[in-house]
Chain A
Amino acid sequence: MTVRRIMTAEEIRRAVIRVSHEIVEKHAGTDRLALVGIQRRGVPIARRLADAILEHENTTLPVGALDITFYRDDLSMLAQQPVVKGTDLPFDVNGSTVVLVDDVLFTGRTIRAAMDALMEFGRPDAIRLAVLVDRGHRELPIRADHVGKNVPTSREERVRVRIEEVDGEDAVDIDRAPAPMGSTVEVP
């Protein structure tokens, strides 16, 4: 197995700044805009996006945290219950435009669960999706509105995002297992 770095700390920083501009541009401002990180690495990324937006728009956006554990479609398939980390949405979801933030977009099942979880709190005007890495291989009709980096991967590979607030450093690596014969690489 080989490990390949696909984003350095500096690249992550620039991607976050670019995405923060895209979010404000797409929404044409910051009115009733909120960022919601998906536990756990989505949360610090959402907070960084908010910091970047504060810098160039001079507005503090509400930042929430969403735990999707209870909404997973594979709970009955797991050998152990995942640890629940909690949800905190410090704004009224009704009428807001909520940007979900996560580290990796893969099958899309996490995002499906996150949308279900969010809807329990109210009826947002719109839900958008920002991710640091899109690695392809969707199993549901879901796409990201804002992507830090598109990374072609094969299914067997593992994308590891490390975020300083959680892991002590910023980096995105791919653990590249030798691709089996006949496996397909998907370009997101």
Chain B
Amino acid sequence: MNAAADPALFAPDDAADPNEPDRTLAANAAPAGRWTHQHLLDVDVLTTDDLDLIMQTTATMAQVLTRPIPKVPALRGWGVTILFYEASTRTRVSFEVAAKNLSADVVNIAAASSSVSKGESLIDTIRTVEALGARMLVLRHATSGAPYLAAEHFSGSVLNGGDGWHAHPTQALLDLYTLRTRLPGGIVAGRKVVILGDVMHSRVARSNLWSLTAAGADVWLCGPATLLRGFDAWAAAGVAGSRRFTVTSDLPAALRDADVVMALRIQRERMASGLLPSLREYAARFGLTRERMALARPDALVMHPGPMNEGVEIAPDVATGRQSVITEQVANGVAVRMAVLYLLAGARDSAATRESAATRESAGARDSAGARDSAGARDSAGRAAAE
């Protein structure tokens, strides 16, 4: 393979010249289209330029992962604390591997074994974590909006590892990256993407709505009517005011000619709340089986954010079949999280101060509106999540 084979490697841009000493770079900082965010709380605030920069950086991180030693010293000496108030395997491990691949110093806190179990508040825990040297905080919390609160009290960068029903930005980014690497020509625009299952309780679905509609995909949300509540109103209002999507309980209509089908996990605890009669009925009516996948395009991709209930929302032969990119999603998760950690590490100084002021303002606006979500457009679907 010749170096010339990959034109992206040699694409011109306005990067600072590495031959100039750092003082020159500092003077040339912040040309248009560069990273300006201090936190990653959701994908809603990311512009298409931001998304492109993340995707481009992810591609180079994926390249690092193929090396004999998949480790670079970019974040040497950086304290990264991973604070998870909810159970997780892939997201937590993925963040940890990503941070370690960048040579950061990683501290893992599981809420169950920490002072949180003694009643310490989130704010106190965050102050403690910061006092112990963390410059980046990866937070997962069962309450929607918790990372926004954390961002007000943490001077470094907060990364949302999933909050309640609200947002899971790195999952949306890794899904977008997976689509860009697997769809023909890397083009997501115009592709029919079906998100199938328990949409109402899904932060994955909410974050993906922002990034997929921003990328121009034709997004369909499908599931039992009880698990789509609130999304009709959001669909009518549009994502960011103008980007439409389709909400339906008609599974064949959703799957017909789909390019991508993303099945969501059915949480067993939803049975208790009466939203679903039984897992068996859900599987019979909405389970992603091979017969149903036949309605989609022959080369359609099957995705799942995990963990899967095989035989409920997705049949085992579909989950592991030829069209499945589920294990790729997991692998891409590490590269995406490396990219995000790397980019956020650059957001300091003027950019950092600007944004933390902006975050504080918008957080205040959210509080007064009575919802912790980051955009009014999402209120109908999002307020339920905040409660």
A and B are partners in one complex rather than unrelated chains: yes
Contact of A81 among B2, B20, B77, B343 (CB under 8 A): B343
Residues of B contacting A121 in the complex (Cβ-Cβ under 8 angstroms): 67-68
A71 to B18, CA, bound (A): 11
Within the complex, which residue of B3, B12, B19, B63 is in contact with A102, where a contact is CB–CB below 8 Å?
B19
Residues of A within 8 A of B348 (CB): 79
User: Which stretch, A23-31, A85-93, A142-150, touches the partner chain B?
Assistant: A85-93
At the interface, is chain B mostly helix, strand, loop or mixed? loop
Residue B131 at the chain A interface, CB threshold 8 Å? no
A43 touches B10 (CB 8 A): yes
**Cβ–Cβ < 8 Å partners of B8 in chain A:** 86
Query: Quick one: closest A residue to B9, CB to CB?
Result: A86
Question: In the assembled complex, how far is the CB of residue A108 from the closest CB belonging to chain B, in whole angstroms?
Answer: 10
Query: Which of the residues B26, B60, B69 comes within 8 Å of A78, measured between beta carbons?
Result: B26
Tell me whether B30 and A79 are in contact (CB under 8 A).
yes
Interface-facing stretch out of B51-59, B194-202, B286-294, B304-312: B51-59
Interface check B120, CB cutoff 8 A: no
Q: Does A100 contact B (CB under 8 A)?
A: no
A38 close to B (CB within 8 Å): yes
Query: With an 8 A cutoff between CB atoms, is B132 at the interface?
Result: no
Chain B 242-256, CB-CB to A under 8 Å as 1, else 0, gives 000000000000000
Chain B CB within 10 Å — which of A68, A88, A103, A159 has the most? A88
Contact B67 A74 (CB under 8 A): no
Name B24's closest neighbour in chain A (CB-CB). A158
Q: Is B369 an interface residue (CB 8 A)?
A: no
- Is B22 an interface residue when CB atoms closer than 8 A count as contact? yes
A-side interface residues, number (CB < 8 Å): 50
Closest to A78 in B: B25
Say if the beta carbon of A98 comes within 8 Å of chain B: no
Residues in A with CB closer than 8 Å to B102 are: 70
In the assembly, what is the distance between CA of A39 and CA of B15, in Å?
10
- The closest CB in chain B to the CB of A109 belongs to B21
Binds B, one of A1-9, A14-22, A59-67: A59-67
Measured CA separation A103–B20 after assembly (Å): 11
Select from chain A the residue with minimum beta-carbon distance to B61. Answer: A84
Residues of A within 8 A of B2 (CB): 62-63, 90
Shortest CB–CB separation between residue B97 and chain A, in angstroms? 16
User: Is B16 part of the contact surface with A, judged by Cβ < 8 Å?
Assistant: yes
* Distance between Cα atoms of A106 and B20 in the complex (Å): 7
* Cβ contact within 8 Å between B60 and A67: yes
- The answer to whether B342 touches A78, judged by C-beta atoms less than 8 angstroms apart, is no
CB of B351 within 8 Å of the partner chain: yes
Least CB distance from B61 to A in Å reads 8
Report how far A109 CA is from B16 CA in the complex, Å. Answer: 15
- The reply to whether A106 and B19 form a contact with Cβ atoms under 8 Å apart is yes
**Provided the pairs A106-B19, A110-B18 are in contact, do residues A79 and B1 lie with their beta carbons within 8 angstroms?**
no
Q: Is the CB of A64 within 8 A of B3?
A: yes
Query: Which B residues lie within 8 Å of A74 (CB)?
Result: 21-22, 25
Distance in Å: Cβ of B247 to nearest Cβ of chain A: 38
Q: Which residues of chain A are near B3, meaning CB under 8 Å?
A: 43, 47, 63-65, 88, 90
Does A107 make an interface contact (CB < 8 A)? yes
Give the residue name and chain of the B residue nearest to A102 (CB). B19
Whether B26 contacts A85 by the Cβ 8 Å rule is no
Take A79-B26, A90-B2 as given contacts and tell me if A84 and B57 are in contact as well, using a CB distance cutoff of 8 Å: yes
B73 within 8 A of A: yes
Measured between beta carbons, the chain A residues less than 8 angstroms from B225 are none
Known: A70-B64, A81-B342, A88-B3. 12 other contacts (CB 8 A): A40-B10, A43-B3, A63-B2, A71-B74, A75-B345, A78-B22, A78-B29, A80-B34, A85-B9, A86-B59, A88-B1, A122-B68
The 10 closest A-B CB pairs, nearest first, are: A81-B346, A70-B72, A79-B29, A74-B22, A70-B74, A104-B19, A86-B9, A84-B60, A83-B15, A88-B3
A residues whose Cβ falls under 8 Å from a Cβ of B: 38-40, 43-44, 47, 62-65, 67-72, 74-88, 90, 102-107, 109-110, 113, 116, 120-122, 158-159, 165-167
